[in-house]
Amino acid sequence: MKLERKVQLISYPDSLGGNLAELNRLLDTKLSGLFPGGIHILPPFPSSGDRGFAPLTYLEIEPQFGNWEDIRSIAEKQPLILDLMVNHISAQSEYFQDFLSKGNQSQFADLFITLDKLWPDEQPFEEDINKIFLRRELPYSEYETSAGSLKVWTTFGKTNPSEQIDLDIHSAQTRDLFSTYLKSFHKNKVRIVRLDAVGYVIKKMGTSCFFVEPEIYEFLDWINQEANALGITLLPEIHADPAIQYKLAERGYWIYDFILPYTLLNAYINRTSKALKSYLQTRPHNQFTMLDCHDGIPIKPDLNGLYEYAEAAKLVETCIERGGNLSLIVSPEHQDPNGFDVHQIRGTLYSLMDCNDDAYLGARALQLFTPGIPQIYYVGLLAGENDVLAVQKTGEGRELNRHNYTLAEINQAIEKPVVQKLFRLIHLRNTHPAFDGEFSVNPSDDSSISLEWKQDNNFARLEIDFDSTGYKLVYNKPDISSTIDFS
C-alpha cells in the first residue's frame, strides 16, 4: 500500500477528550484537516499494564475507550495505525492464565518461552546473560503453575514477576495468533500496523538477543507477507544502532527516524548545525519522522557512533535542568566505556526546548521539512509542558509526557498562539505542492541551516539560526513569494 507523505497524529485512545468517540469528534472539528496522513492510536485494547502495552487480546477494544465501531469511524476518514506487540502479551491473557493453571499441559504452552527451550535444566549460563541487551535485571520471571515453578522469558516489565510475557515466534501457534490479529485489523479498516518491540523477538544464546541476524529477517519477511496479503503496511519499531535501521530501509521497510530528535535538540542546545546538516543529506527518505512520543528522545543505542560525548553530556544536563528525566541502559556491556548510559531523555518537547515558542516552532518546521511521514505526538501538538504531578503520583518517569487532556484543556491549549502557528505549519506541509518535489540542504554556516523543497515553479524554504533560535519560512503562494515569520 502506498502511504501518503502527509502529517500524522499520535495519541492514546483516552488522551484527547477521554475516549475514542471524543477523539473522533475532535478530528472532525477542532483538528479537522490537520492529519490526512493518518492517526496512530496507541494500544486501545484490554491491557494489564504499561499503558496498553501489556495487551490481553487484540480482538477487543477496552470498553472504557469505546468499541470497534469507533475505530472504523476514524479509519474511514484517514489511514489508521495500531500496534501489534509481537514480542509479548499480558500475563492476564487467557493464554497465559491457562498456562499457569495447567503448566506444560496447557494447549497454549508452546506460545511461551520456558527456559528449558534455551538452557538445560532451566539453568541460565552467566556468560549468556551478560551478552543480552537487558531491559530489566534478568530477562525472565518465575511463575507458580500447577506443574510447579517455571521460569518464562520476560524482556520487559517493571514488576516481578513481569506482566509482559514474551511470545515464542518460532511456534506455529504464535504465528497463527498473529495471523488472526492481522485479519481482525484488516476487517476493522486498519491500514498500518506498528510492530512494537520487534527487535527483541529472537532469543539466541551467545548473542545480545536483540535484532539477531539473519533470523530476524525470516520473521519480518513472514509477517510482512501476511500483512501485505491483507493490504496492511508494516512499520517495524526498533531502537538500534543506525546501521540496523538502514538495513531495514534497504530491504524496503518503512522505519522510524529515531536519530532526528536528538540531532535537532543538539543543534539548538549546543548551537551547531554540523551534525544535523550531515544527517539530513544522507538519511533514507522512507522514514516516519518524530520529535516526541510516549517514551522519550532516544540516544543509546539509536545514535551509537553519531554523538560526541561532551555535546551529549551537555544536552542531557540541560534537559534535566528543564525538568526532564532519564531512562538508562541496564547492561554494562551496552554502555559507553566512559560510563555514559542514557537510553532516552523523557519530557515534553516544548519543556525540553525551554518553552521557547520560536525555537519550538522552528523545530517543528524542521521536522515537517524533513523527508518522510511526519508524526506529531498529541502533547506536542498542544505545546504541553511537563506533567510533574503525574510522575509524582505514579512513580513513572514517562508520565511527564503523557498528560490526559480534558475537552476544556484542549480548547484552552488550541487558543495559544504557539499552537495556532503550529496548526498553520502543518497545513502548509500538507497542502503546498513543493513538498511533492525535490528536497535539498542549502549551504549555510555552522550555526544555521537552510532546507528547501522544489517542484516546477513551486518552492518552500526554511531557514533557522540556532544562535538566536529564530526561523523564517519562504514559499510561493501561489505565484508570488511570501515570507512567513509567524510573529
pLDDT tens per residue, range 128-155: 999 998 999 999 999 998 888 999 999 9
- Please classify residue 67 by burial: count the beta carbons closer than 10 Å to its beta carbon, then call 0-12 exposed, 13-18 middle and 19+ buried: middle
pLDDT tens per residue, range 215-237: 999 999 999 999 999 999 999 99
At 264 the three-state DSSP class reads helix
Our answer to whether residue 336 is catalytic in this structure is no
Active-site residue, from 62, 70, 83, 237: 237
Our answer to whether residue 237 is catalytic in this structure is yes
pLDDT at 10: 98
pLDDT tens per residue, range 361-388: 999 999 999 999 999 999 999 999 999 9
pLDDT at 123: 87
DSSP run (H or E) holding 243: helix 242-250
pLDDT tens per residue, range 389-433: 999 999 999 999 999 999 999 999 999 999 999 999 999 999 999
Q: Where are the alpha helices (DSSP H) in 121-168?
A: 126-131
Distance, in Å, from the CA atom of 321 to the CA atom of 313, rounded to the nearest integer, reads 12
Per-residue confidence band for 477, with pLDDT thresholds at 50, 70 and 90: confident
At 180 the three-state DSSP class reads helix
Count of C-beta atoms within a 10 Å radius of residue 5? 16
Of the chain, the percentage scoring pLDDT greater than 70 comes to: 98
Task: Specify the pTM.
Answer: 0.95
Amino acid at the residue 170 = H
Per-residue confidence band for 487, with pLDDT thresholds at 50, 70 and 90: very low
Grid cell at residue 190 = 486498519
Distance, in Å, from the CA atom of 437 to the CA atom of 458, rounded to the nearest integer, reads 9
Instruction: Give just the sign of the alpha carbon dihedral 133, 90, 288, 192.
Output: positive
Distance, in Å, from the CA atom of 87 to the CA atom of 71, rounded to the nearest integer, reads 24
Per-residue confidence band for 332, with pLDDT thresholds at 50, 70 and 90: confident
Per-residue confidence band for 196, with pLDDT thresholds at 50, 70 and 90: very high
Active-site residue, from 83, 168, 196, 387: 196
